[in-house]
Amino acid sequence: MKRIDSLTVAQLRIFKTDELPFNSLRLGASVQKIRTEFAFKHITNIPAPMTPDLLGAIGFVAGEVKTEAGATVIESLVIESRRVLLTIHGPSEVANQTFDRLRGMIREVDQRENKPELVPLIVTEDTTTVVHLDHPILSLLTGCPLEQLVGGLDSKIEKHGARVRIYPASFRLAVAYDHVPDSLKLNNITLADKVISIELRMGTAVEDNIYFISSPNPSTIHLQMVTFLEELLARR
């Protein structure tokens, strides 16, 4: 892997019913407290059905979090009655640190006597990267039926007087979750299908080997997956 141009992590945390103090969080003072802590430029109330939560959601956009590693952009934060959705332009470690700070603030504004610890039932993550690979994904075609398909299509494409190049621009793999644990089922939590996607970066030359890669993983595992892809391409 020559270079990583961008890395974005989206985290979703789901809590037990009524664990988040949603009414307290909707108070003006609470909203301003969160806005000030993370320097959000915009705040919005998100009504149903724009959010799946019938109670609506509180949305924060374009903020930042400062850690020992420096400042990291927070793309968005959405708080619903059971879910917290956080998207940052940085690794999972920074996203976790951001939520830890948010958790403390949520507990501060919680007006109940016995405050929950706010431990989520599940945390799911999606990581997307734009990376410069050492090898083209075209090498995956070598010696397989797909290579014959691409070669055979050349005579079956209208060329309009030009020379045509046919190559795969993306690979997509579905990820389905079977046998969901009872601990999630009992709390009405399902796991939606996800996708592993490897796509040629729009606006770049195929020879540059720049790819948009996404997976339903924390950033550390995602980068391990990219390294595995590179090793596979090298062997081809």
Give the mean pLDDT per block of 10 residues along the chain (236 residues). 92 96 95 97 94 94 92 98 97 97 96 92 97 85 74 85 84 93 94 94 89 96 94 81
pLDDT of residue 105: 96
List, in order, residues 6 or more apart from 58 with CB less than 8 Å away: 25, 26, 31, 43, 44, 45, 46, 78, 79
What element of type H or E holds 18? none
Strands 83-88 vs 122-132: parallel, antiparallel or unpaired = unpaired
Classified as helix, coil or strand, 173 is strand
CB 214 within 8 A of CB 128: yes
In the chain, what are the domain boundaries? 17-120, 127-235
Give 195-231 pLDDT, tens digit per residue.
Answer: 999 999 988 888 899 999 999 999 999 999 999 998 8
Closest CA to 65 of 48, 89, 81: 89
Give 33-51 pLDDT, tens digit per residue.
Answer: 999 999 999 999 999 989 9
Q: Whole-structure pTM over 0.85, yes or no?
A: yes
